[in-house]
Amino acid sequence: MKISNYKKPMVFLAFVCLLPFNCTDSVLDVNPQGVVTDADLNSPENVEKLVIAAYAAQANDFWQAPFQDMWPWGSVGGGDAYKGGGGIGDQLWIHWLEVKALNAPVGNPGNEVTYKYIYAAIGRINEALERLNALTDEQLPTRRQRIAEMNFLRANTYFKLKVLFKHIVYIDETIPKEKYVEISNRELTDQEGWNWIINEFRKAVAVLPDTQEDAGRPTKSAAQLFLAKTLVYKAYVQNDSHEVVSITASELNEAISLFETVDAAGIYELWPDYSYNFECAHEGGPESVWAIMRSLNDGTADGRINYGNSLNSPVSAGYGCCGFFQPSTNLANAFKTDANGHPLVTNYNEAPIINSNVDVEANNMDPRISHTVGLLGMPWKYDPAIIVNATFPRVPAQYGTNMGMKDQELPTNSCWRQSAAFYGSGRNTDVMRYADALLYWAEALVETTPSRFQEALPIINRIRERASNSTSRLVKGDGSPSGKYVIGLYAPSDFATQEQARQAVRFERRLEMAMESFPGRHFDLVRWGIAEQTLNEYYAVEKNRRSYLVEGHYTQSRDEYQPIPQIEITISQGVLIQNPGY
């Protein structure tokens, strides 16, 4: 080609090359990968999976949002346990819950995270319900039952929020997400809030079947017991200062009849040995009303184990971290009994003090102490070969040497798992076991008008009888009893008055349910309206045992509930109203 010819084609080609070619929008479309879109999820199979995801969220609790176990609020907040761990600053937010005093600012990170995680669980339920509603029974034959399961799950999840924060935002599947921020936590009164939850449980009771193929799904009787429990809570009417001003008999009577119905059906019973409730090997037994399913060897890296109490293992051999959740001396003392094997309801916290095996052998004791509190020198978790020693706790100088046993397993147990630096078990988490239901039943009988307190006696004795039968595993290496276990049933004379019965029922709840945190002692004390008195008495004595408790002080009309997280109030631009006192 001649030089004179090169220019034209070159210029032409260059301009063709550079022509702002028609870059259609589709060239710049890049779709996300490995995710699903909104519309993909409406098929019946995927809606079933969203129901599973809603259950899964219930098991997504962890140490900073332990909303299933709720031990920081219930047991530590209620004087059954110390925070434990590596000193005051280790999980400082739980220390604030423990002492309820001075420098606990409104921004408690544990509350903030827990609030988010509980609403995340509610969000998954609403997501599932919205899509269940859009299907027909033909498309999904299980539809009505799944809706009822979601009602049950939602009611129980709101229950947790309510006992923590009292005034909460109620959201169901009909409200669009962008409206959430406009909904106040004061749209419903305290009592209306209970009604909202009760109504959800009623829907569940109406539809749920008597039996379920999958152990993780609630049955009709489970829903009845949860409904009854909620009715008991609602019966104690609080004013705006959280004082209990009246007790509504109609709620209690309805609860009583629900308890009677379920009990008559004989679906649930107490394990012959109390210890079975606290072992993997016996999970899902006749005493478990409804539980969070935990699992191991399930294809996940660390198992879907219980992270809610993963800080609570001893630091001794076989374990390693982190020594949280140590039973208080006050709690250990509560297990002392008199010559009749009855608890020392009024003077249990006076000398002698229960600190070690020496004290358990020297004093009459309710055997449940050795299922609950790992005391120095005592066998650990029914294994006489493992004796609690000073290496179990992490900072014994500060938090003493008592270690909680109920949420632990022996390190040799196959359901025990180390996950990173932490430890947890694959044992299901009972949200309600039948003894708990019996105690609510007894409580309702005592508090209703007119009181039927005498009828509570046999119910309490059922629990005590089982406790007295639960000593065979409380032995030393030589087979001899590890303590001086003396426990007796109550006689009608012990239930001569309503007040006597009330004391006995309340004390029994503490002994039976101690360190099982949901709902936990703090919530009981608030329900009964005696939190301020009980806890300030606790601090007055316990500070001589654990000196950091000098900070402890319970402020009436404030400490009954947690503050609404400040960040939520800020985001809502004042639509959310803070709880009184904060």
> Residue from 71, 119, 158, 325 that binds another protein (CB under 8 A)?
119
What is the distance, to the nearest Å, from the Cα of residue 137 to the centroid of all Cα atoms in its chain? Answer: 34
Work out the angle between the directed axes of helices 143-165 and 109-134 (0-180°, nearest 10). 160
For another protein, the closer of residues 419 and 497 by Cβ is 419
**Applying CB under 8 A, which of residues 192, 243, 302, 383 lies at the interface with another protein?**
302
Decide: is 218 part of the binding site for another protein (CB under 8 A). no
DSSP-derived secondary structure for 508-549 = HHHHHHTT--SS-HHHHHHHHT-HHHHHHHHHHHHTTTSGGG
112 contributes a contact to another protein by CB under 8 A:
yes
C-beta of 316 vs 372, nearer to another protein:
316
Residue 377 Cβ vs another protein, minimum distance, rounded to whole Å: 16
Q: Which is nearer to another protein, 106 or 244 (CB)?
A: 106
**Residues in 60-79 that interact with another protein by CB under 8 A:** 60, 62-64
By the rule CB under 8 A, 377 interacts with another protein: no
Q: Least separation, in Å, of the C-beta of 336 and another protein?
A: 24
**From the CB of 547, what's the least distance to another protein, in Å?**
4
Binders in 21-50 for another protein, by CB under 8 A: 21-23, 25, 27-38, 40-41, 46, 49-50
Q: How many alpha carbons lie under 13 Å from residue 450 in its C-beta half-sphere? A: 2
Q: How far is the CB of 552 from another protein (least distance, A)?
A: 12
How many other CB atoms are found less than 10 A from the CB of residue 265?
12
Q: Does 298 bind another protein (CB under 8 A)?
A: yes
For 551, the token pair is 């900070």
By beta-carbon proximity to another protein, the closer residue of 24 and 493 is 24
As given in the structure block, the two tokens for residue 131 are 């899509």
Q: d(Cα 222, Cα 218) in Å, to the nearest integer?
A: 6
Q: Which amino acid is at 145?
A: Q
Could you tell me which residues are beta bridge partners of residue 453? none
> Which residues make beta-bridge pairs with 358?
none
Residue 283 CB, nearest distance to another protein (Å)? 8
Site for another protein in 398-427 (CB under 8 A): 398, 415, 418-421, 426
Q: Which of 134, 139, 141, 177 binds another protein (CB under 8 A)?
A: 177
Residue 351 touching another protein (CB under 8 A):
no
424 forms beta bridges with 417
From 363, 416, 358, 410, select the one nearest 383 (Cα to Cα): 410
- Interaction of residue 123 with another protein, rule CB under 8 A: yes
Amino acid in the structure at residue 179: K
Least gap, CB of 265 to another protein (angstroms): 22
**Residue 87 found at the interface with another protein (CB under 8 A):** yes
Nearer to another protein, 328 or 461 (CB): 328
Site for another protein in 469-488 (CB under 8 A): none
Task: Supply 408's token pair.
Answer: 């632990």
Contact call for residue 517 and another protein (CB under 8 A): no
Residue 14 sits in the site that holds another protein (CB under 8 A): yes
140-148, 196-204, 209-217, 375-383 -> range binding another protein (CB under 8 A): 209-217
Figure out which of the listed residues 154, 160, 167, 217 binds another protein, where binding follows CB under 8 A. Answer: 217
209 binds another protein (CB under 8 A): no
| CA angle in degrees (0–180, nearest 5) for 50-54-59 | 135
Query: What is each CA distance from 382 to 25, 140, 318, 405, in whole angstroms?
Result: 70, 48, 16, 10
Instruction: Give dist(CA 253, CA 255) in Å, integer.
Output: 5
Q: How far is the CB of 118 from another protein (least distance, A)?
A: 9
Q: Given candidates 229, 294, 464, 527, which one binds another protein under the rule CB under 8 A? A: 294
Residue placing its CB nearer to another protein in the complex, 154 or 336: 154
Rule CB under 8 A: is residue 296 a binding residue for another protein?
yes
Q: Which of residues 226-255 bind another protein (CB under 8 A)?
A: none
| Cβ count near 142 (within 10 Å) | 14
Q: Which is nearer to another protein, 55 or 335 (CB)?
A: 55
CB atoms near residue 481 (< 10 Å): 15
HEC per residue, 80-128: CEEEECCCCCCCHHHHHHHHCCCCCCCCCHHHHHHHHHHHHHHHHHHHH
> What residues numbered 541-580 form the site for another protein, per CB under 8 A?
546-548, 550, 565-568, 570-573
- The reply to whether 155 sits near another protein by the rule CB under 8 A is no
Residues in the interface with another protein (CB under 8 A) total 131
Query: Which residue lies nearer to another protein by CB, 64 or 562?
Result: 64
Residue 483 or 563 having the CB closest to another protein = 563
On the 0-12 / 13-18 / 19+ scale of CB atoms within 10 A, 392 is buried
Given a contact cutoff of 8 angstroms between Cβ atoms, the answer to whether 567 and 573 are in contact is: no
User: Residues 426-465 vs another protein: string with x where CB under 8 A?
Assistant: x-x-------------------------------------
Given candidates 83, 124, 166, 527, which one binds another protein under the rule CB under 8 A? 124
Report helix, strand or coil for 433: strand
Neighbours of 429 (CB within 10 A): 22
Q: How many CB atoms lie within 10 A of CB 571?
A: 11
Nearer to another protein, 52 or 491 (CB): 52
b/e sequence 269-305, b meaning 16+ C-beta within 10 Å: ebbebbbbbbbbebbebbbbbbbbbbebeeeeeebbb
- Give the whole-angstrom CA distance, residue 7 versus residue 13: 10
Residue 86 binds another protein (CB under 8 A): yes
CB nearer to another protein: pick between 215 and 362:
215
Residue from 71, 93, 259, 490 binding another protein (CB under 8 A): 93
304 binds another protein (CB under 8 A): yes
Coil, helix or strand for 409?
Answer: coil
Binding mask 258-287 for another protein (x = CB under 8 A): -------------------------xx---
DSSP-derived secondary structure for 213-254: SSTTS--HHHHHHHHHHHHHHHHEEE-TTS-EEEE-HHHHHH
Task: Return the residue of 321, 334, 360, 487 that touches another protein, per CB under 8 A.
Answer: 321
